[in-house]
Chains A and B, each alone.
Chain A
Amino acid sequence: MKCHYACGSAEHALHRRAFLESAVTGSIGAVGLGGILTGTRTIADQLKTGHKQVLNIFLHGGVSQLESWDPKPNTDTGGPFRAIPTSVPGVHICELLPHTSKQMHRLSIVRSLDTKNNNHGRGVVEMTTGRKQTPGTDYPHLGAVAAKALIPETFSLPGHILVRQSPGKRNIESKFHKAAYLGPRFASMAIYDAKPPAFGGESDSITAEADQRRNAFRKRVNDRFAARRRTADTEAYNFSFDQARELVAQRHVFDVTRESAADQERYGMSPFSTHCLLARRLLEHGVPYVQLNHADYDTHHENFNFHIEQLGEFDLPFARLVADLADRGMLANTLICVMSEFGRTPKINKTYGRDHWGTAWSVLLGGTGIQPGAVIGKTNENGTAVVEREVDHGHIFHTILQAAGVESTGEFQIGGRTFPIADPARGSISELLA
């Protein structure tokens, strides 16, 4: 795609924030690097309100809402677990989440998702793009949208980081998150098993001075090329090169072993514990969007045994992370979401399993822009249907962005085309917004 740049030189390129501010005042009429937001507020306006961040925790396979956020004890569908009180009077969650229960005054539950889907792949796509999956159409992942909208102008690291375990043989987790029309710079950078990316580091065979000269030469050649034949692809290559240099320079950001031994012990020893601690570190270093994947919850067989195991890994480090973000004043600027591709059937099958269920399930939200301690929506007595405030992936997508200060009803303008930021047929859950 040929781009229309206001200036062909990297040296003279406007800073992103300056560009956006100029766009607002009308001093620049051209379309910028990746397009701009239009609507009631612009990114420039939004950035003035503070550096917002998003932490999304994706429980792959479909966590059971009945064993987490919407327990129905002593009903035909309730299963063997009890509900426990939380730090919010009158709000109960499953007994498998004792540590999280003490953080619920900082979090809120949406108990009324009906996403009308029981397919893993489609569920992942729809929950993370906020759109109905349509053949031949790619929408950007929530992380790409958040990164594009929230990344500070001076921020030189990737804005969209995915932390996950190494893939298994039949793994259904995303390998990376697509940025679609937002461009590759907003696609995810994946960190596997909390190991820092394989940086090459500085070469022993070249001095720092020689490296600087070499880089200056590269820039001169690039500029000359860009003056005549600049494209979105060349821009992405240049961006990747610059970002790689920054990654090397700031590799400590990804090194979770630099966290104190006390903190590592507080979070626990499981891989997800380490991932939560790494998430805290990445957020502290300003990464706009961090996603942790925790797998796996696809419990068609022995749902209850496996939820003890999986939520047993999730509960403590997640609760520690929420508490730490609050204690450090970061929750005021960080949106937290815990989602899956769907929930699990209220009906318990003959092998004590629960199957796929997109008809009535829950998502957890909290932090910046979200009313704390709220419960939105309701399911019926045994959790088989939504009876109050039905919402879907589109509403959740809008709500996350708006809570993070992004006007989700706005549009991206990319290469002269207009792309709604979120599904125009949906809106935020306004009563959940602070």
Chain B
Amino acid sequence: MTDAVPVKVDPQKTSLSLEYKLSRPLTACHWEPNSRFVFFGAEDNLIHRFDVSSRTVISLAAHDSWVRSFGSSLDGEVLYSGGYDGRLGFWPAAADKPDPIHMIDAHQGWLRAIAVSPDGKHIATCGNDLRVKLWDVAAGTLVKEFKGHKSHVYNLTFSQDGSSLVTCDHKGVVNSWTVDSNEPRQLLTVKALHGYDTTFRADIGGARCIALRSDGVQLALGGISNVTNAFAGVGETAIALVNLADGKLDRILQSKDKTKGTMWGVAHHPSGFWIGLSGGSGGGWLTFWTGDADHEFFKLKLKNDGRGMSLSHDRTQIVVAHADMHLRTYALHGAT
């Protein structure tokens, strides 16, 4: 892995740089640290490894359901995968024919998200069993289990210094857990990211994506807001920015035209802007905010709905998992 040295990017020149078509809709994607591969999941229970230089794909089988989340060791040699089967996989990322190093029954029900600690020694997972779990990556064993959420835990990330975990559940409850604690500290409930549809009698919400600002001070949680019809997905894309020091909501990022849909991906670019990926009835969009204003300074219409996003390690490319069976990359500095 090489340290990222951000090249000069110009979001307003963002353009499609590569397309790869699979036979099933995609669910998630992940750019590993060495930028050799993009791993992606699809509606086929497989992990697909896209070789960036040769533009070829091999598939990794071991999950018993769709794969929805990924992570990498700091050196990029181990891939972590989480599935709707509740299983956590460890894979030799660059092997010719990767077989899993570990396949662990990590959660009852879906494993929704994986986070890698800054020192690379631990990963954390969360899922529908309301649990947050900390794993030792060297041994592939459970270190600790955190209980406290009362609804499905949708997403999580480590703080920048690795001393705590921040988690968000279906109802927008954001908790902070220090690694040696048993009880969470509830930071806040992001009401904008949860609603109960009284007509359909169902909850909708949760952080569908999560990211830290590059300085680690601010947390971004993306999802759907102002839902008027849960079962048709009639709501607006939104990203909530939370100050991690005081647990206060700083700002809700939305698009000027209140794009309909769900925010499925978020990342902070070290050049100082937020990137959001959305999909839904309003179509697929990459949207860019400074973070100092509620509305975007630029948005790019995509060919189809996005379902997952990852920023390349050199921060010049975005890869998107699309619902139309395509993996697409977008260059942040214009055509390549």
Contacts and interface: CB of A to CB of B under 8 A. Distances in A.
A, B bound:
yes
Interface of A: 61, 73-74, 76, 79-82, 165, 168-171, 295-296, 298-302, 304-306, 308-310, 348, 350-351, 353
B231 A299 contact: yes
B305 A351 contact: yes
A356 to B, nearest CB: 12
B92 interface: no
Interface in B167-216: 198-204
B232 A310 contact: no
B231 A80 contact: no
B287 interface: no
A305 B110 CA distance: 10
Interface string B22-65: 00110000000000000000011100000000000000000011
A309 to B, nearest CB: 5
B43 A170 contact: no
Given A61-B200, A295-B200, 16 more contacts: A76-B24, A76-B43, A82-B85, A168-B200, A170-B199, A171-B199, A296-B231, A300-B232, A301-B231, A301-B233, A302-B204, A304-B84, A350-B305, A350-B324, A351-B233, A353-B233
Contacts of A61: 200, 231
A74 B262 CA distance: 26
Given A295-B200, A350-B279, A350-B323, A81 B128 contact: no
Given A168-B198, A306-B230, A351 B280 contact: yes
18 contacts: A61-B231, A74-B45, A76-B24, A80-B110, A81-B84, A165-B201, A169-B198, A296-B200, A296-B231, A298-B231, A300-B232, A301-B231, A301-B280, A302-B204, A306-B231, A350-B304, A351-B281, A353-B233
Given A82-B64, A306-B230, A351-B262, A296 B305 contact: no
Contacts of A305: 204
A149 to B, nearest CB: 33
Contacts of B323: 350-351
A340 B139 CA distance: 49
B128 A308 contact: yes
B50 to A, nearest CB: 20
B109 interface: yes
Contacts of B64: 82
A296 B84 contact: no
B66 interface: yes
Interface of B: 24-25, 43-45, 64-66, 84-85, 109-110, 128, 152, 198-204, 229-233, 261-262, 279-281, 304-305, 323-324
A170 B197 CA distance: 11
Nearest to B227: A301
Nearest to B85: A82
Contacts of A304: 84
A80 B66 contact: yes
A78 to B, nearest CB: 8
B84 A309 contact: no
A296 B199 CA distance: 8
A305 B229 CA distance: 15
Nearest to B83: A80
Contacts of B199: 168-171, 296
A76 B25 CA distance: 9
B202 A306 contact: yes
Nearest to A171: B199
Contact of A302 (B25, B66, B233): B233
B130 to A, nearest CB: 13
A298 B230 CA distance: 10
A74 B25 CA distance: 13
A351 B24 CA distance: 14
Contacts of B85: 80, 82
Contacts of B201: 165, 168, 295-296
Residue of A80, A165, A299, A300 with highest tally of chain B CB at under 10 A: A80
Nearest to B84: A80
Contacts of B324: 350
B48 to A, nearest CB: 15
Contacts of B25: 348, 350
7 closest Cβ contacts across the A-B interface?
A: A301-B233, A168-B199, A80-B84, A350-B323, A296-B200, A80-B66, A350-B305
A310 B230 CA distance: 13
Given A169-B199, A296-B201, A301 B230 contact: yes
Contacts of A81: 65, 84
A169 B229 CA distance: 11
B196 to A, nearest CB: 11
Contacts of A302: 204, 233
Contacts of A353: 231, 233
Looking at A171, A296, A298, A301, the one whose CB has the most chain B CB atoms below 10 A away is A301
Contacts of B231: 61, 296, 298-301, 306, 353
B42 to A, nearest CB: 10
B84 to A, nearest CB: 4
A427 to B, nearest CB: 36
A351 B234 CA distance: 11
A304 B281 CA distance: 18
Most buried by B among A169, A171, A302, A348: A302
Contact of A298 (B84, B200, B262, B304): B200
A348 B43 contact: yes
Contacts of A350: 25, 279, 304-305, 323-324
A287 B306 CA distance: 52
A428 B128 CA distance: 42
A215 to B, nearest CB: 42
Contact of B233 (A73, A296, A300): A300
A81 B24 CA distance: 16
A80 B200 contact: no
A296 B202 contact: yes
B279 A301 contact: no
A309 B65 contact: no
A12 to B, nearest CB: 50
A92 to B, nearest CB: 14
B230 A308 contact: no
Contact of B203 (A82, A295, A309): A309
Given A168-B198, A296-B199, A351 B204 contact: no
Residue among B24, B200, B324 with the highest chain A CB neighbour number at 10 A: B200
A233 B280 CA distance: 54
Contacts of A74: 44-45
A170 B231 CA distance: 12
